[in-house]
């Protein structure tokens, strides 16, 4: 089971290094801009990638996607919970909310 989480709590957990942040969008969106320190696990690759990238099932995970209209974070969070990850949070407002608040992002795109 996953819980929803808001921007302020996401930022606090990122700043404190208390969570693994996961972008559930396809790689091209992740490479363009992602939340600081986030890793990319597209929602349709959770079963394949999570066991390799997320070895601690007790870690705090924050999953996000584009915005409230995007279902990817909810789908990924449910899949992670089904795989036995116990502390999964869904930042449903996602990247649009984060950027809209003027918070920093990272990019994997080479200039």
**Average model confidence (pLDDT) across the chain:** 95
Contact of 62 with 36, CB cutoff 8 Å: no
Nearest residue to 97 via CA among 63, 64, 62: 64
Asked whether residue 106 is assigned to any structural domain, the reply reads no
Asked whether residue 107 is assigned to any structural domain, the reply reads no
| 110: pLDDT strictly greater than 90 | no
**Structural domain count of the chain:** 1
Q: At what angle do helices 72-82 and 46-53 cross, to 10 degrees?
A: 60
Residues 73-96: pLDDT tens digits? Answer: 999 999 999 999 999 999 999 999
For residue 22, the domain's CATH number is: 3.40.250.10
Residues 44-54: pLDDT tens digits? Answer: 999 999 999 99
Torsions phi, psi for 34 (to 5 deg): -145, 160
Q: What is the pLDDT of residue 2?
A: 79
Q: What is the pTM of this model?
A: 0.95
Parent domain of 58 = 2-100
Beta strands of 1-111 (E only): which ranges? 2-4, 20-23, 39-40, 60-64, 87-91
pLDDT, average across residues 9-30: 97
Place of tokens 């790689």: 27
């Amino acid at each position: 089971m996953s819980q929803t989480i808001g921007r302020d709590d996401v930022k606090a957990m990122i700043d404190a290094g208390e969570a693994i942040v996961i972008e559930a969008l396809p790689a091209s969106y992740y490479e363009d801009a992602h939340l600081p320190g986030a890793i990319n696990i597209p929602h349709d690759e959770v079963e394949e990638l999570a066991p390799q990238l997320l070895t601690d099932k007790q870690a705090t995970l924050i999953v996000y996607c584009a915005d409230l209209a995007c279902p990817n974070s909810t789908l990924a969070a449910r899949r992670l919970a089904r795989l036995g990850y116990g502390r999964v949070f869904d930042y449903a407002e996602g990247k649009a909310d984060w950027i809209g608040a003027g918070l920093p992002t990272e990019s994997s795109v080479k200039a």
